[in-house]
Structure 1
């Protein structure tokens, strides 16, 4: 029987990570298979076999960054298509999704802020492949202030930055943040118009280790563009936007030996989408509306639907017929059995 179990395990290990429904069906075959698939050893081998790279299982979508509630699956799993109407998703990372309620939006005194969720061991070298049930942090950031919730302590702490408070007239975009090393990066908008339409002229860097934050300007000419903040292929901060039928990528490189926030922006790629997208999708209304960090995917909105562009393979895939969505929040994770109820932390 042991040899049979080993044979079954080898077959199950080769199920693609973006096909979690097949794993769920296999777990329902019998108790023996369910114990096999639920074992930590199987999960560890499954992750190792697939090169420690979690797949994108789907994404949350909304009309703009003020409301993201619908979930679109890009895998075989079919989750509930919508949260309760008073909930919306504002961040997703390390197998978790950060939600807020309508009550939180009405009562929150921190206008122009944004928030992020991450594993509590993010700065300590955690691989984030099975930490989704462990302790986590929620980071609420605005211009000049930050509040950090620790699930381990069950409490909030606060920090302020006099340097960033000089830019009190600015607001943080509600676009998803980017985590690079021990720092979170948030897009900054200079006006309510920019907040709704995704234009930005700067980003805010918040260092989780030191609690310091600083505002960094984007290169000249970016303020009128709908720009997506992302992790570049070189591990540095990156930008993506579409002009005409061209997708442009820029990355920020820090000169060797510099320990401050000085960085040089340079264009890294220019991709002609006309040869990749279907003919009926090519128009002047193509926009980059999001990115899935870790899997190298950029979301493109066209007048015939939403497409993903894989930066590694240059493959394009249509993932939604919807044309009105203005924002996306990818969910990137190996599939795990969800908890029975969400964990809450009141602001």
Structure 2
């Protein structure tokens, strides 16, 4: 009877469906699945299965890590990737690259939900390119015929459909709090999930949030003030600082000085310096679940070396 009990209790561990469910819940960092695939052939088989990789990406899509940022490289007619993570989660810089034909003009517009939006012009033909750097998928969209990119200022955002969820949006005029409109203001998603914005003046950042009180009124409230001079090695007489971008899924703001780019986590105030490219470059944070290297794709040897080392 005791042997039967042991056999019965061990049966769930042999269930073929159990291992994928366990691996599915690993952290969405680039090194998670490569590390797991080193355990044995069975684990590697599951971790490299295309269907499982797709499930893994979807499962972690709402909490993707910050992999780095994309920078427009006009000189080499390309969009380059600047990794921000440390080994073993550092994605090789050459892993994500989008090349254009010589003579093409392109503008990097937005990175969001693991997608990149680019406006491209070549031989008088204008179109948008929606690119998924992890899968390599590209979709080209025609440029609206009534707009001329040579005379019209174009901006845009890219959003990934939220599965089965139905979202309806409406436009409304929302009064701003009494802040100096000459300051740098960037709208963000607040910690509560509602609307917020960053107000930057000199070396001070204020975090404002729009919350609804018990009477149904939604006033703006100042939630936090961050003195950057206490965090960064700045010279108030020489340095100038501005907000470059905001990584909304990781609550990180990119700050630019004359010589450096800093990534600041707004909750923990953890600070990190990354290399700065040309002064005219714009940085677009890229948050996504990256796991293509497990199956033997580009850069696998480098990522595995980081995992083992």
TM-score by length of 1: 0.56
Pairwise CA distance, 1:56: 0.8
Question: Counterpart of 2:246 in 1: which secondary structure?
Answer: strand
Q: 1: CA distance between counterparts of 2:278 and 2:256?
A: 7
Q: Does 1:308 align with 2:263?
A: yes
5+ unaligned residues in a row in structure 2: which ranges? 1-12, 129-141, 298-309
Matched, 1:116 2:157: yes
Matched with 2:96 is: 80
CA contact (8 A) 2:72 2:108 kept: no
In 2, distance between residues paired with 1:68 and 1:222?
A: 38
Number of equivalenced pairs: 246
Structure with the largest fraction of strand = 1
* Alignment partner, residue 213 of structure 1: 171
- The 1:284–1:219 alpha-carbon spacing in structure 2 relative to 1, beyond 3 Å, is farther
Contact 1:306 1:320 in 2 (8 A): yes
Distance 1:77 1:282, change over 3 A: farther
* 102-111 vs 265-274, greater mean Cα deviation: 102-111
State the superposition RMSD in angstroms: 4.4
Higher relative contact order (CA 8 A, sep 6+): 2
Provide the C-alpha distance between the structure 2 equivalents of 1:112 and 1:254, rounded to a whole number of angstroms: 35
Change (3 A) 1:235 1:224: same
Q: Deviations over 1:213-259 (max 9, x none)?
A: 2343433444312222111112221111332222221112234464x
Where does residue 307 of structure 2 map in the other structure?
none
Question: What is residue 117 of structure 2 aligned with on the other side?
Answer: 98
Answering whether residue 63 of structure 2 is matched by residue 53 of structure 1, we say yes
| SS of equivalent residue, structure 1 residue 36 | helix
1:294 is matched with which residue? 249
Q: Does 1:274 align with 2:229?
A: yes
Q: Please state how far the C-alpha of 1:313 moved relative to its aligned partner.
A: 1.6
- For residue 321 of structure 1, give the secondary structure of its aligned residue in structure 2: coil
Could you say if the C-alpha distance between residues 242 and 282 of structure 1 is closer, same or farther in structure 2, counting changes exceeding 3 Å? farther
Partner residue of 1:19? Answer: 30
* Structure 1: stretches of 5+ with no match in the other structure: 126-181, 183-208, 341-347
Alpha-carbon distance between aligned partners in 2 of 1:51 and 1:329, rounded to the nearest angstrom: 18
Closer, same or farther: CA 122–89 of 1 in aligned 2, 3 Å: farther
TM-superposed CA distance for 1:86, in Å, is 3.3
1:330 counterpart residue number = 285
Structure 1 position 244 matched with structure 2 position 263 = no
Cα distance in structure 1, aligned partners of 2:63 and 2:119 = 28
Which has the higher Rg, Structure 1 or Structure 2? 2
Partners of 1:91 and 1:115 within 8 A in 2: yes
